[in-house]
Amino acid sequence: MKHTKSLRIAFFGTANFAAWHLYTLVCFSIHQIIAIFTQEIQVSKHRSFLSLHDIAEKHNIALFKSSFLSISEIIYIIKKLNVDLIVVVSYGLILPEEILNIPRLGCINVHGSLLPRWRGPAPIQRALEYGDVITGVTIIRMDLGIDTGDIFHIMPCNILPKDTSYTLSDRLAKMGSTMLLQVLDQLILETYTLIPQDSTYATYAHKLTKQEARIDWKLSAIQLERCVRAFNPWPISYFLLKDRRIRVWSAEVGNRNTMDHCYHSFASMLPGTILSINPYGIHVVTGSGVLILTMLQISGKKRTLICDLLNAYKEWFMPNAVLE
């Protein structure tokens, strides 16, 4: 029987999703992280938040900001470090063939969806936005396509009704980290099986933009509630009122069967019109149904529950006011 041995690994990642995988490799595996490549060096401002920078600094690992390096410089570094494997997690850039071919064990990618669904840079957010009830993590052998490589390991995860991109990403990161350790063992022992993706079922998760976070009240309440969760913690859904940007951190879809009699008269109202307010929410007419805003943040202020917000800004949110 072959024994597991330590691998020399170069890690490519940028987003928070990547930091948990790096932490797991550094703290809970026998493998050596020789270098970290990232697009943006982010320093953690909160104790509970992991960042690639913090991990690199604490464990004395070389950290390279890849946007400052040419491809030839990255190739030179990887060859000089004699890495066995490149692990890519939420890196945000496509690695060229010259890099993919360097490590003797190739390059693997941890992706936050059930590939081939939601290939691309924003799989977790798009799954929430489109109302998926299940997602997962897929680990693939990288090729020249965007998340098109053969599958090492795939595991599903239910999407909960109140999940945001933050909560779902956190759950998937912990799942993916465990899967990554298993795949590394399989690579060393040569016990893995690769499964080709069926591109017939492929969908693409386009990168998020700040522009799409602005609420379009003509959409349905169901769609808007999904967007609020999908865009939390970035870029955060928002609307304009009194020339101020109001961020929406949480919202619910109104249930006509349990609402008061005024719900019978909103059909002719302009989408974005405030229907009613109470300490638990601001009820807003949409293109179909009513969206209940439950936590807002006025530009320059802290986010707050509606009961506290109305104590200071009730005149802003009176019934019949129209949100932009």
Q: Residue 107 — very low, low, confident or very high, per pLDDT cuts 50/70/90?
A: very high
Domain that holds residue 270: 211-317
What local confidence, expressed as pLDDT, does residue 1 receive? 41
pLDDT at position 45 over 70: no
The verdict on 288 and 149 lying in the same domain is no
Higher pLDDT among residues 107 and 263, named by residue: 107
The verdict on 34 and 165 lying in the same domain is yes
Higher pLDDT among residues 269 and 76, named by residue: 76
d(CA 186, CA 148): 20
206 located within any domain? no
d(CA 158, CA 127): 11
pLDDT at position 138 over 90: yes
The verdict on 182 and 307 lying in the same domain is no
The verdict on 173 and 29 lying in the same domain is yes
User: Phi and psi for 196 in degrees, rounded to 5?
Assistant: -65, 145
The verdict on 247 and 175 lying in the same domain is no
| Structural domain count, the chain | 2
Q: What confidence tens digit (pLDDT) does each residue in 161-219 have?
A: 999 999 999 999 999 999 999 999 999 999 999 999 999 999 999 999 999 999 999 99
- Sign of the Cα pseudo-torsion (149, 153, 156, 159, in order): negative
Domain boundary among 153, 178, 201: 201
What local confidence, expressed as pLDDT, does residue 264 receive? 59
The verdict on 41 and 86 lying in the same domain is yes
244 located within any domain? yes
CATH code of the domain in which 245 resides: 3.10.25.10
What local confidence, expressed as pLDDT, does residue 324 receive? 85
Q: What confidence tens digit (pLDDT) does each residue in 286-312 have?
A: 999 999 999 999 999 999 999 999 999
What local confidence, expressed as pLDDT, does residue 5 receive? 85
What local confidence, expressed as pLDDT, does residue 266 receive? 67
Tell me the pLDDT of the chain averaged across its residues.
93
pLDDT at position 256 over 80: no
With tokens 């897929």, the residue in question is: 138
Domain boundary among 201, 231, 262: 201
Q: What confidence tens digit (pLDDT) does each residue in 273-289 have?
A: 999 999 999 999 999 99
Higher pLDDT among residues 99 and 242, named by residue: 99
The verdict on 196 and 287 lying in the same domain is no
End-to-end CA distance of the chain: 66
What local confidence, expressed as pLDDT, does residue 276 receive? 93
pLDDT at position 47 over 50: no
Long-range contacts made by residues 313-321, C-beta under 8 angstroms, separation at least 24? 314/277, 316/241, 316/242, 317/241, 317/274, 317/277, 317/282, 318/274, 318/277, 319/274, 319/275, 319/276, 319/277, 320/273, 320/274, 321/241, 321/273, 321/274
1 located within any domain? no
The verdict on 178 and 270 lying in the same domain is no
Structure tokens at 129: 């936005």
The verdict on 148 and 225 lying in the same domain is no
pLDDT at position 36 over 50: yes
What local confidence, expressed as pLDDT, does residue 287 receive? 94
pLDDT at position 259 over 70: no
The verdict on 78 and 139 lying in the same domain is yes
Q: pTM for this one? A: 0.94
Q: Residue 48 — very low, low, confident or very high, per pLDDT cuts 50/70/90?
A: low
Higher pLDDT among residues 61 and 47, named by residue: 61
Domain boundary among 183, 201, 219: 201
- β-bridge mates for residue 141, sequence order: 108
pLDDT at position 94 over 50: yes
What lies within 8 Å, CB to CB, of 128 at 6+ separation is 159, 163, 164, 165, 168, 226, 229, 230
pLDDT at position 261 over 70: no
The verdict on 236 and 268 lying in the same domain is yes
